[in-house]
Structure 1
Amino acid sequence: MPHPDDAMAVTTAAEPITSAGHGQLAVAVLAGIAVLVLLITRWKLHAFLSLTLGSLVLGAAAGAPLDRVIDSFGAGLGSTVAGVGVLIALGAILGKLLADSGGADQIVDTVLARATPRRMPWAMLLIASIIGLPLFFEVGIVLLIPVVLLVAKRGGHSLVRIGLPALSGLSVMHGLVPPHPGPLVAIDAVDADLGLTLALGVLVAVPTAVVAGPVLGRYAARWVDVTPPEGLVPERPSDALDRRPGFGATVATVLLPVVLMLAKALVDIVVDDPDDTVQRVADIVGDPMIALLAAVLLGLFTLGGAAGLNRDGLARTVERALGPIAGILLIVGAGGGFKQVLIDAGVGDMILEISEDWNVSALLLGWLIAVGIRLATGSATVATISAAGLVAPLAADMSGTHVALLVLAIGAGSLFLSHVNDAGFWLVKEYFGMTVGQTLRTWSLMETVISVTALLWVLLLSLII
């Protein structure tokens, strides 16, 4: 993976590609985002094409030469994919190993076997949080919701009471904790320290998930009462649990990259000597690519091997993991291109100059921009990428800790009020058998609570550290 200084060399323009004033740049930004929103929401164009066209419109409206806009977009796309593409691929492989080996089922069954009915919402939150670390949000939903439906039916539990905690755990991990695409791109855009962001992300994620999950679910279950849809409740065969990896080995494999990256961040703080052998070793093993690669290699044995997958089976698992993320990589890359056009056109500097006269902190500004784009496009990833590009210059004079908190503020804003333009909204609606109104009062409310609660924790931490 490129060194952070190399990434900054790519994302910092030597001189703006246009001489437009603040007024024209503001119009250009609005035009680019408007095109992006309309293409995604009205014409249902793929986000990759929408981001590409939105970048060209933004550059043209800013009065930049088309060839320089294309060069800027290509540079941003390339640097973003180079910086986070390998991490996304490794995370997808680890998640696929977890699913195909039965490791995810092992975590679910082990935790649920020890949970009383009163503790079931907390058990679902724990399961979703652990599984949500390496899995993409949509994969986590497809994997966990059938389990939620099964538990609700067999145990006579309220579907909303135990379902919201599971959704909360998945959503919080998706928006706040790397190696998910949104946080990774934001970290790359503002040049934040990944280990520090991961540590603070977990610190913010835990109380946020509790408030939006078990606590909110307790009240939401009173005004929305639904039963599991019969056709979607899974019927697992009796021999499905014969060969699966052990619970301890599964959890250890999933948490290995987290532990390695947190260890690196801790050593960097305690030792703080680039020439020290301990720090040099920690920097290597705690590098995100090495940490995830180590988890994948370990997972081939602890997950795939324990489940009886031979070499051909492991090869198929890896192959199946990489195919579905092609679209994600293109979207993330195009988002990086969009971000680079924003920076090279001088939009970031414009926001920096204008915001000097505002009484709004950079953390709140990043959150507000992400909220606006999230509401318009329905995409948390697009909101994170665009907001990070806009506020990146504000991070230049911030401490490392506050840069990490800026990433979390943007991630929190990207989760605000999922509604009818978000695919996740309809996925939850259909799985839970709810009406649009019921989905708004549960899922949409939960996403809003996550966003606001996370922001409050971020602002609180900014006053303490």
Structure 2
Amino acid sequence: MTTSHAASLVALAAATEPAATRSPAFLMVTAVVAIAVLLVLIMKVKLHAFYSLVIVSLLTAVVAGIPTADLVSTLTSGFGNTLATVALLVGFGAVLGRIVEVSGGAQVLADTLLSRFGEKRAPLALSVASLFYGFPIFLDAAFVVMLPIIYTVARRLGGSLMLYALPAAGAFLMMHALVPPHPGPVAASGILGADVGLVVVIALLVGLPTWYLMGYRLALVLARRVGFVAVPDLLGKAGGDEDQPRPSFGIVLLVLLLPLLLIFGATASNTAVTNYGADEDNPLLVVLQVLGATPVALLIASVLAMLLLVVRPNRGKVGSRVEELVDDAVAPVCSIILITGAGGMFGRVLTETGIGGVIAEGLNDAGLPLILAGFIIAIALRVAQGSATVAGTTAAGLLAPAVAADPSLSQLQLACIVVAVVAGAITFSHVNDSGFWLVGRFLGLDTATTFKTWSVVGTAIGFTAFGLVWLLYLVVS
């Protein structure tokens, strides 16, 4: 996700005034009933999640008093804004992942990981790999690109897909929630005036033990509890081209690391402009920012994968093979993209009601310690509107006046407060979170199982990270 997109989310989140003159109590009841109806439609009536989300979003908007003139635009903007972020990331990521799998690259990476860690430590190997891969890349894109490797390991070793996928998802969650250059921590750091470099240090100091305890160990416990989950064929049928030689480990690694390098370049460019006064019109910095935008980086990587993993091994004699691979990768994920967009629509409707702002402002006036207030406000906003980035940035904005009024706060304390805020923003993922639907559908999970796994791991990561960073805050105060 780009800095400009994060800024647009902040602007969206700032609109916390209710859409109509409904009382706070009425809005809260409306939100609770809407979520309950949505769960009944999906879990009991078995209505498709896409239709359920759209219908409930429309009804909630009407009941909450969103003006008729703004009704359709509210629904479509929530849907469109989410797709603007997710569709390209998922599409390019799915193509890249499918090419890596079909070329035999996923098997090469799986063999390498298993030879280094051993088959018994395969979940740990995938989780550690996800930590590194998730450092600069937005969660949705990184998870989709890693899926073929996770699928390949699960098929080879047998057992439930969740034993391998949930620890990887836990690693991605921790990195996305706590560590810059992800948009939530970066935006919260800027709003509260914290040093981003120090936030990285604190986030890793707190996040790594949090990942191991909750993102890895707890994920394994939950994966075993839910029972067997088969590997779906969402990225095409299993297996690669039999008559094509496997690529080398170096080529596969180049294809997968290229987007990381490009995104790191964009991050360095933004840092040079923001923190060191570099000329934002410098041609080199502009090029780095364009190439390092996550959709562009994934586009370049997927095209390179076509050339190195499909065209080159076949000496250019591929016919319509590349087109077939793209179709195989994109067609199965269209449903996921639509459900994800509808989840964004529902989140936007809840945001427009103003319920999140009402709750957050009440908490902000409650006189709690700053670090605790930021954590709780972020939780309230997360539950109300779904987006972790919006919850973290908005909570930071609400907390900013109190932080500014306390000149005794050190940079170390400010960094701890930022981490506490973004930790709260990752908790309680549910049906208004687009990531809830994206990850659940890619793993072939029903709604109840997604709650029992993805939501629990994310909430555990948030509370554990907060507990650790509060202890650190008390030590340095």
TM-score, length-scaled by structure 1: 0.69
| Structure 1 residue aligned with 2:350 | 342
Give the direction of change, closer, same or farther, for the CA distance of 1:96–1:228 in structure 2 (3 Å limit): closer
CA–CA separation in structure 2 for the residues paired with 1:227 and 1:15: 45
Checking the alignment, whether the CA contact within 8 Å between 1:95 and 1:134 is kept in structure 2 is no
Give the direction of change, closer, same or farther, for the CA distance of 1:214–1:45 in structure 2 (3 Å limit): closer
Counterpart residue type for residue 334 of structure 1: A
What are the ranges of 5 or more consecutive residues in structure 1 without an aligned counterpart?
150-158, 230-235, 374-382, 417-421, 430-435
Percent sequence identity over aligned pairs: 25
What are the ranges of 5 or more consecutive residues in structure 2 without an aligned counterpart?
135-141, 190-195, 231-237, 401-413, 432-438
CA–CA separation in structure 1 for the residues paired with 2:242 and 2:208: 32
Checking the alignment, whether the CA contact within 8 Å between 1:164 and 1:213 is kept in structure 2 is no
CA–CA separation in structure 2 for the residues paired with 1:36 and 1:228: 24
Counterpart residue type for residue 361 of structure 2: E
Give the direction of change, closer, same or farther, for the CA distance of 1:102–1:424 in structure 2 (3 Å limit): same
| Structure 1 residue aligned with 2:109 | 107
Query: Aligned pair 1:146/2:155, yes or no?
Result: yes
CA–CA separation in structure 2 for the residues paired with 1:345 and 1:217: 35
CA–CA separation in structure 2 for the residues paired with 1:444 and 1:88: 24
| Structure 2 residue aligned with 1:394 | 395
Checking the alignment, whether the CA contact within 8 Å between 1:187 and 1:407 is kept in structure 2 is no
Q: Map 1:404-415 onto structure 2 (within 5 A).
A: 409-414=424-429
How far residue 320 of structure 1 moved from its aligned partner, in angstroms, is: 1.7
Counterpart residue type for residue 155 of structure 2: P
Checking the alignment, whether the CA contact within 8 Å between 2:379 and 2:427 is kept in structure 1 is yes
Query: Aligned pair 1:361/2:365, yes or no?
Result: no
SS at match of 1:414: coil
Q: Map 1:38-53 onto structure 2 (within 5 A).
A: 38-53=40-55
CA–CA separation in structure 2 for the residues paired with 1:192 and 1:284: 23
CA–CA separation in structure 1 for the residues paired with 2:269 and 2:162: 37
| Structure 1 residue aligned with 2:62 | 60
Deviations 1:146-193 (A, max 9, x none): 1222xxxxxxxxx69xx8762343322554556x9xx9xx959x9779
Counterpart residue type for residue 47 of structure 2: L
Which deviates further from its counterpart, 237-246 or 261-270? Answer: 237-246
Give the direction of change, closer, same or farther, for the CA distance of 1:199–1:282 in structure 2 (3 Å limit): farther
1:295 to 285, 298, 301: 301
CA–CA separation in structure 1 for the residues paired with 2:214 and 2:329: 30
| Structure 2 residue aligned with 1:432 | none
Q: Map 1:218-233 onto structure 2 (within 5 A).
A: none
Give the direction of change, closer, same or farther, for the CA distance of 1:283–1:319 in structure 2 (3 Å limit): same
Counterpart residue type for residue 93 of structure 2: G
Counterpart residue type for residue 308 of structure 2: T
1:170 to 164, 168, 172: 168
CA–CA separation in structure 2 for the residues paired with 1:406 and 1:319: 41
CA–CA separation in structure 2 for the residues paired with 1:291 and 1:426: 25
Query: Aligned pair 1:275/2:282, yes or no?
Result: no
TM-score, length-scaled by structure 2: 0.67
How far residue 297 of structure 1 moved from its aligned partner, in angstroms, is: 1.9
CA–CA separation in structure 2 for the residues paired with 1:214 and 1:313: 38
Query: Aligned pair 1:325/2:327, yes or no?
Result: no
Checking the alignment, whether the CA contact within 8 Å between 2:9 and 2:390 is kept in structure 1 is no
Give the direction of change, closer, same or farther, for the CA distance of 1:205–1:337 in structure 2 (3 Å limit): same
| Structure 1 residue aligned with 2:137 | none
How far residue 108 of structure 1 moved from its aligned partner, in angstroms, is: 0.6
Q: Map 1:145-294 onto structure 2 (within 5 A).
A: 145-149=154-158, 166-173=164-171, 175-176=173-174, 203=204, 207-212=209-214, 240=242, 243-272=245-274, 273=277, 275-276=279-280, 277=282, 278-294=284-300
SS at match of 2:144: coil
Query: Aligned pair 1:351/2:342, yes or no?
Result: no
